[in-house]
Chains A and B, each alone.
Chain A
Amino acid sequence: MLAGNRGKFFAMLFGVALTALIITQQSSIFIGLMSRTVGFIFDTPQPDLWVMDPKVQFVDDIKPLQDTKLFQVRGVEGVQWAVPLYKGQLRARLSNGLFQTCNVIGLDDATLVAGPPTMVEGTLADLRRADGVIVDEAAAKGKLARQGQGPDSPSVPLKVGDTLELNDNRAIVVGIARATRTFQSQPIIYTTYSRAMRFAPRERKLLSFVLAEVQPGQDVHEVAARIRRQTGLAAYTAEEFRGLTIRYFMKNTGIPINFGMAVGLGFLVGVAIVGQTFFSFIVDNMRYLGILKAMGASNQLLFRMILLQTALVGVIGCGLGMGIASLTSIVSKNSELAFYMPWQVPVVTFLATGLITLITSAFSLRKVLSLEPAIVFKG
């Protein structure tokens, strides 16, 4: 019946598809943004524990430690090894004279633990070369790219062998790596810990984190508790540190409210468009529903018919909306758009459109239940 009324069918399809698109896209962008806040933790899977100042609230909230804390952690029973990690923001001077703030990661000189997950050019060991730094691929092609020869020439990506000026220090690009984009989308530059100490402005304390591995057979949480007790520092597993960071952003930024409102509005738009269109469809077809009722169709049968029709629109519309959202993610794969769609997003979108279908059907149900079959003899 509904497919026969093309105008209303497409209006409902449009409503569901728009809702599914908004819910999928906004949820995926929200999750993408949240993932970026913990991108660095994801990219550093080697250590069992992240040790830091107890006041640290999230991964970029650096409260430097004294170097001696490293040795204290190494001295805790159950710790296999512990290495220092520097994480800070330094200014890079570009070839055109402009400055770009970069996220500089200083890796333990001996082990190079916490290096980038994927090397595109060069190797991690190249960091041991004099003044060596590894730059992330997106920054090499974007924010750190060199200006072309002419005024209108396209910029030239930074490549191995190029030099940078980091806080008035010379740095030579020895590798290009692929790393998860950060929340601030700043270039990521990897170097050794000792070189990072040289690049960073002089301060009394520069150690950002201590990365620790637990001895085999030892319980990670027990060792973490021991570190907390003996050093007075905070010690988290990667999962706990990600949770801490995400909770901070959820609690202290407007991101969840903004995206939550967009998702909520999408849902309401869906209910309004689909509900109103379907209700008007039911009102238009009351006569025919009355005929079916007069001919012996039960209320249950009529309701099943209505539910089937809304469900059909729901499934097609949901598929269309999610398809468009997925297409957006493919098209914007190499852009700044933070789009990450885990399997939970399509499930939530499907449930939301299912709910719209149910609400819409429930509106119509009342109308059908109160329908007098005697309507068939009127006019």
Chain B
Amino acid sequence: MGSAILCKELTKSYVTDKTATRALRGVDLAVEEGELFMLVGPSGCGKTTLISVIAGILNQDGGECRIFGEDLKAMSEEQRTAYRGHTVGFVFQSYNLIPTLTASENVSIPLLLNGYAREEAAAKAEAMLGRVGLQGKIRSLPNSLSGGQQQRVAIARALAHNPRLIVCDEPTSALDYATGLEIMDLFRHEALNGNRTLVIVTHDSRIFHFADRIGVMDDGTIVQIARSAAEVHLDQTHKK
């Protein structure tokens, strides 16, 4: 299998009126196709900035970032929008489902954005909701669902258009432990079908064992790549 994500010397700074904060200080990272990769580290270490660059919603300042061989920096704004539309699926900490749309309509969104007809999108969305165990909640509005159910809808939405890469930001942190495990199980068994690649940002050490590899970040760089939860040394942070 080839590299899904290949980042070299990636840098990114946030500039305000008086100060510049260096969020990424030369990140080198390679994630294989079909891999579940976790990014862990303390708050403010640059995890979210890194997945934002990988997802194509933020431009890096320097270095190179290739996703499935495509250089994101070389893309125009329209190309990046199209790239996000067909290549990336998103799962967020706070679900971010549109509250006025039903579960099925929420899941239909990426399909409609990819040019599916309304009826076809609805049928695919309903099938996808079935795969994540929400057959009976197709017409439900998000606020009538539990946190775990909402996250399942979000996962169905991320998977609906069959993207090659899924980026997740703290997908279990708003859930209780048991529900968090169910969600990770869903990621492992549903989301990783085929050669799809998952990058999950998390603080939750109880789900580390779901990862194929874990990248430990600190102060804008990756300080350790661990192959199992046991190898992760979060105390390495700040000792670079």
Contact = CB atoms under 8 A, between A and B. Distances in A.
B84 A296 contact: yes
B213 to A, nearest CB: 22
B85 A291 contact: no
Interface stretch (A17-25, A312-320, A358-366, A371-379): A371-379
Interface residues of B, number: 25
Most buried by B among A4, A292, A294: A294
B84 A294 contact: yes
Interface in B162-189: 169
Contacts of A1: 98, 100-101
B159 to A, nearest CB: 13
A5 B58 CA distance: 30
A296 B90 CA distance: 11
A130 interface: no
Interface residues of A, number: 21
Interface string A217-239: 00000000000000000000000
B98 A291 contact: yes
A295 B85 contact: yes
Interface string B84-106: 11100010101010111100000
Given A295-B90, A296-B85, A376 B100 contact: no
A313 B82 CA distance: 31
Given A294-B90, A296-B81, A379-B94, A4 B100 contact: yes
Interface string B3-42: 0000000000000000000000000000000000000000
Contacts of B113: 292, 295-297, 301
A215 interface: no
Contact of B81 (A3, A5, A298): A298
A294 B55 contact: yes
B237 interface: no
B169 A377 contact: yes
A9 to B, nearest CB: 10
Contact of A288 (B82, B98, B169): B98
21 contacts: A1-B100, A4-B99, A4-B100, A5-B100, A287-B96, A294-B57, A294-B84, A295-B110, A296-B81, A296-B82, A296-B114, A297-B85, A301-B113, A372-B57, A372-B58, A374-B52, A376-B57, A377-B48, A377-B52, A377-B57, A377-B92
A4 B52 CA distance: 30
Contacts of A3: 100
Contacts of A379: 94
Interface string A1-17: 10111000000000000
Interface string B47-76: 010011001011000000000000000000
B57 A374 contact: yes
Contacts of B52: 374, 377
Interface in A281-297: 287-288, 291-297
Given A292-B113, A376-B96, 17 more contacts: A4-B100, A291-B96, A291-B98, A293-B81, A294-B55, A294-B84, A295-B84, A295-B109, A295-B110, A296-B82, A296-B85, A298-B78, A301-B113, A373-B84, A377-B52, A377-B57, A377-B169
Nearest to B59: A374
Nearest to A6: B100
A281 to B, nearest CB: 11
Contacts of B100: 1, 3-5
B70 to A, nearest CB: 15
- List 10 A-B pairs, minimum CB-CB distance, nearest first: A296-B85, A4-B100, A373-B57, A296-B84, A296-B113, A377-B48, A374-B58, A374-B57, A374-B52, A291-B96
A288 B157 CA distance: 14
Nearest to B47: A377
Contacts of A377: 48, 51-52, 57, 92, 169
Nearest to A294: B57
A301 B81 CA distance: 11
Nearest to B83: A296
Nearest to A288: B98
Contacts of A287: 96
A376 B78 contact: no
Most buried by B among A3, A293, A298: A298
Contacts of A5: 100
A301 B110 CA distance: 13
A296 B86 contact: yes
A199 B127 CA distance: 92
Most buried by B among A288, A295, A298, A379: A295
Nearest to B141: A4
A286 to B, nearest CB: 12
Most buried by B among A287, A292, A297: A297
A298 to B, nearest CB: 5
A379 B98 CA distance: 16
Contacts of B114: 296
A301 to B, nearest CB: 8
A353 B86 CA distance: 38
Contacts of B101: 1, 4
Interface in A8-47: none
B92 A376 contact: yes
Most buried by B among A287, A294, A296: A296
